[in-house]
Amino acid sequence: MKDINTILRLDVSPRKTDSISRRLTQKAIDSMSAKGPVKIINRDLSEGLNFVNEGWIGANFTPAEARDEAQHQALIESDTLVSELEQADTLLIGTPIYNFSIPASLKSWIDMVARVGKTFAYTETGPQGLLKNKRAIVLVASGGTQLGSEIDFATPYLRHALGFIGISDVTFIAADALAQQAEAKIQLAFEAIESL
């Protein structure tokens, strides 16, 4: 086992202040740092990522040795995001739920890191995730959507998408349905984080 836990911290909320999901991720960082040495890779998805487009698709499906300069340029951001994920022992995602699902910036990150030959492979028995022995902790803030309810399309999708690239050890902690008793629910989430 490694001595240092490398944590890739993804903050998704566009709110830099008063963001509950950012409070949760910071609490998790503080808690994990207190338990042993950590290295943090910070990625603020609210600052924007490119979306998959035709040039990206063409570059992605061209063998690396055959790519021209424009294709290499098209994949630089994606390559960086994949590298950050490969380095991490723990993926820490702090996200709000928007309109019953994840924000577009988090979906864009997933699109950028789900790369055949890098994070998953096609096999005779179907797709196989390549990112093994990693853990994901997903900290969710929601005003009206309760996790696990029939209107929660965020957490089943995230569990499946992470599993698709090989990350099957996924823990969800929620400060959800915050329209009522917000501070009490945040405190319960903090306690769950401490118990990780």
Which residue segments constitute the domains of the chain, with CATH numbers given? 5-194 (3.40.50.360)
Mean pLDDT of the chain: 94
Q: What is the DSSP letter of 194?
A: H
Distance, in Å, from the CA atom of 30 to the CA atom of 28, rounded to the nearest integer, reads 5
Q: Is 168 annotated as a binding residue?
A: no
Say what the pLDDT of residue 56 is: 97
Average pLDDT of 155-176?
Answer: 96
pLDDT above 90 as % of the chain: 87
- Is 50 exceeded by the pLDDT of residue 121? yes
Distance, in Å, from the CA atom of 109 to the CA atom of 47, rounded to the nearest integer, reads 12
- Is 60 exceeded by the pLDDT of residue 1? no
Average pLDDT of 82-94?
Answer: 98
Say what the pLDDT of residue 182 is: 82
Q: Is 13 annotated as a binding residue?
A: yes
Strand partners, 6: 39
Say what the pLDDT of residue 177 is: 74
Helix (H, G, I), strand (E, B) or coil at 89: coil
Say what the pLDDT of residue 104 is: 96
User: Please, is 181 exposed, middle or buried when counting C-beta atoms within 10 Å of its C-beta (0-12, 13-18, 19+)?
Assistant: exposed
Confidence tier at 2 by pLDDT (50, 70, 90) = low
Q: Is 33 annotated as a binding residue?
A: no
Say what the pLDDT of residue 180 is: 73
User: Please, is 54 exposed, middle or buried when counting C-beta atoms within 10 Å of its C-beta (0-12, 13-18, 19+)?
Assistant: exposed
Model pTM above 0.85: yes
